[in-house]
Structure 1
Amino acid sequence: MLRTYRVDGEAAISTTPGPRIGWLDSLRGVAILLVVVLHAGESLRVAGGSTAGIDGLNLFLEPFRMPVLMFLSGILLPRSVAKPWREYLAGKVSLVAWPYLLWSLIILAASGDLSPGGVAQIFYLAPTYLWYLWFILAFYALAYPLRRISPLVASGAGLVASLVLPDGSRPETMVFLAAFFFLGAWCAVHPRLLERAPANPWLLGAGAASAVAVGVFNVLDRNVLYRTEYAWGVLGGLVVVCWLFPRLGSTWATGALEFVGRYSIVFYVAHLGPIMITLALADGLGLAGEWFVFPLLLLGGVGVPLGLAWMYSTREHASVNLLFELPALKSRPRERAKASAGRGPERGFSPGA
């Protein structure tokens, strides 16, 4: 029996029978909330606030956040590239390029850098924290011409290229993350591997140990980030989360995480502004060093996007919809939009840190 499951609003194909797989959305939800934690901690540290423990957590998780999000985005790829090229292009422009361009302009304007040079960098450098979307656009542009090639070949090529490019450079980061994007695509066409391999106790144990080792190495400043030499630890982390999240069951907590995961675009583009505004108010009041500032930053960084995501999910607020997609390229009957309200709009990416 052919099953479709929705991940970030778009369907991926699984050949095994069973219910809709929500754990992929839950995992994405956790990852995007960790992005909020990262930026809240970094902002507070820059302002001179206390970040004891927060920096250690962020450093431990740093090697995994982006590769996991890229892996989840790659799972969407096989279904996506099966579309006619016009529909494929329209979807990526509407749901990835448009929010990237719009929110890049918003961020540059808010930071006072809306100069011609700054605007030009949007197209070739990604000058804001939205560089993840810029990467995703590049991967999608590459994926369609290569759709007849095994994604595993593209993944391996990315890891090899990462070995020869300068450490810490933008190109090295890009090809390293491309490897996990295409690995996700390969797993999407081999769903039994994705479901059964993590259940092997030996593989699970080795994965957990390797993930912990790489996380600790990063805390100890061993320069492991986005380096192929330490990809084994990232793969171990993927094994662990692919074992854990399907076993969490259906609860109010996993339901909430699924919602965050389905509307990850909203949380990604809209979380930093509320964090910075909250921090500026606390700093102006001389409270930046107080213990309760970090929870307040998280409240703003999650609460504001949550409200926007809820409005977006209803499909009833055209101005809010326009913040996250270009409707002219994604026209569809109103009935279909209503039917999709509980699952999220059709989107083809997942943001990250």
Structure 2
Amino acid sequence: MTANEDTRTGAVTAASVALAPVVRERWIDTAKGIAIVLVVLYHATMYLGLAGVDVPGARANPMLETFRMPLFFFMSGVLGARAVALGYRALFHRRLALLVYLYAVWVALQQVFLALLPPTSLEPEPSPLWSFITLAVIPNENLWFLYALPLFFTIAWLTRSWPALVPLALTAVVSVLFSSGILETDTAWDKMGRYLFFFLLALRIGGTVRRLAPSIRWWHAAVLAVFYLGLTGLTFATGIRGVPLVLFVLSLLAVAVGVALAVIMSRMPFFDVVRHLGTRTLPIYVVHAFPLLAVGALIVATGVSVPTPVAMTLPVVLCALAIAIALGVHRLLRDVPGVFTLPRFLTPGRSAARRETAGPTTLAD
């Protein structure tokens, strides 16, 4: 066999492995469900605060910054490892094109929605029009995850032949610089700088994590959770969150906690709803901000005073409401090409069109 034939055979084998069907473990969707719920809860608390509602316990929101997105990106990397073995054109058509398209469409829809709301301070961007004009260079604050994933996949594909320690070491340094505030842009680029490491880490060690997951026991999750919560509380109480490595180390520990907790929860039927949400992360992510923005604008417009007992539970209620609305919108419009899937004219062929119409419902699929 010639060198060229050997190279082609290797490429075909890698692509075959990447395209082969795989059984996804329940804990993976449970972990994604945990992450998406925390993202929606974060936005519910944030928009209530911007609307002038004094939410008791709101300080816990930034304390969980080391948990939400590191876990989300890590799980996306676990599920994306096989796709990186594809050629870039195949990777783009199978994974990235939909994300790029949905980012543009839903940013536009969000800006139109904001323009229809009464003027408020809920959206920190200069204007809906400016946000849409700059969407390719300044990631949207609500939908930046859709912007980040194609970029992260591209970086992973370009560095896939590198020794694992090289991209991990480089992105770890970048993560430390952004998490400590040494580098700062005041845009979603800060978040992407912080979390790229966790995506690349999952691509490299995801297989090992999946093999070890069945051996995790409840006490592993309990010990890790107590350790993480204790260190997080200490970090924010002492004001050392800006010290280099502190938030980075907490984020690494949070990923371990999230994986262990998801494995334990996935064994309990009571938490099947969380696992189900993990299979619907895409519609939840793109839709959930709409009802939250509407409620916040209504509070500002009416000047209503929210009593403390109500404010305590309102973030959880709004979180559940936003998720329910997102799932309802997805159920109603999931078969309409171009809403949650690529329109047919952008798919590379009929078979691809049918595949996209069926549509992924999770951000990593």
TM-score, shorter chain, exceeding 0.5: yes
What is the CA deviation profile of residues 64-117 of structure 1, one whole-angstrom value per residue up to 9, with x for unaligned ones?
1111111011112221112232221123443211111111122223334343x4
Q: Which residue of 1 aligns with 2:134?
A: 121
Q: Which residue of 1 aligns with 2:75?
A: 72
Q: For 2:162, what is the secondary structure of its paired residue?
A: coil
Unaligned ranges ≥5, structure 1: 1-9
Residue 209 of structure 1 and its aligned partner are, at CA, apart by: 4.7
| Number of residue pairs matched by the alignment | 326
Q: Which residue of 1 aligns with 2:124?
A: none
State the distance in 1 between where 2:271 and 2:165 align: 31
State the distance in 1 between where 2:152 and 2:243 align: 17
Matched AA of 1:25: D
Alignment map for 1:84-233 (pairs within 5 Å): 84-112=87-115, 113-115=127-129, 117-164=130-177, 167=182, 169-170=184-185, 173-191=191-209, 194-195=212-213, 207-217=224-234, 219-220=236-237, 222=239, 224=241, 228-233=245-250
Q: Which residue of 2 aligns with 1:27?
A: 31
The 1:331–1:260 alpha-carbon spacing in structure 2 relative to 1, beyond 3 Å, is farther
Q: Which residue of 2 aligns with 1:3?
A: none
Matched AA of 1:322: G
State the distance in 2 between where 1:250 and 1:192 align: 15
State the distance in 2 between where 1:264 and 1:82 align: 24
Q: Residue 255 of structure 2: which of 234, 238, 247 is its match?
A: 238
Q: Which residue of 2 aligns with 1:275?
A: 292
Matched AA of 1:345: P
Alignment root-mean-square deviation, CA: 3.5
State the distance in 2 between where 1:30 and 1:226 align: 28
Q: Is the 8 A contact 2:291 2:322 kept in 1?
A: yes
State the distance in 1 between where 2:101 and 2:288 align: 18
What is the CA deviation profile of residues 220-261 of structure 1, one whole-angstrom value per residue up to 9, with x for unaligned ones?
373537953332222222222222222224555433222221
The 1:347–1:304 alpha-carbon spacing in structure 2 relative to 1, beyond 3 Å, is closer
Q: Is the 8 A contact 1:41 1:51 kept in 2?
A: yes
The 1:337–1:253 alpha-carbon spacing in structure 2 relative to 1, beyond 3 Å, is farther
Matched AA of 2:360: P
Are residues 1:52 and 2:69 paired? no
Q: For 2:339, what is the secondary structure of its paired residue?
A: helix
State the distance in 1 between where 2:55 and 2:93 align: 43
Q: For 2:59, what is the secondary structure of its paired residue?
A: helix
Q: For 1:220, what is the secondary structure of its paired residue?
A: helix
The 1:330–1:300 alpha-carbon spacing in structure 2 relative to 1, beyond 3 Å, is farther
Matched AA of 1:131: W
Unaligned ranges ≥5, structure 2: 1-17, 116-126
Matched AA of 2:162: I
Q: Which residue of 2 aligns with 1:247?
A: 264
State the distance in 1 between where 2:21 and 2:201 align: 15
Q: Is the 8 A contact 2:36 2:278 kept in 1?
A: yes
Q: For 2:64, what is the secondary structure of its paired residue?
A: helix
The 1:209–1:106 alpha-carbon spacing in structure 2 relative to 1, beyond 3 Å, is same
How high is the sequence identity, in percent, across the aligned residues? 23
Q: Which residue of 2 aligns with 1:322?
A: 338
Are residues 1:303 and 2:324 paired? yes
Q: Which residue of 2 aligns with 1:63?
A: 66
State the distance in 2 between where 1:175 and 1:193 align: 29
State the distance in 2 between where 1:82 and 1:91 align: 12
Q: Bigger CA drift: 144-153 or 281-290?
A: 281-290
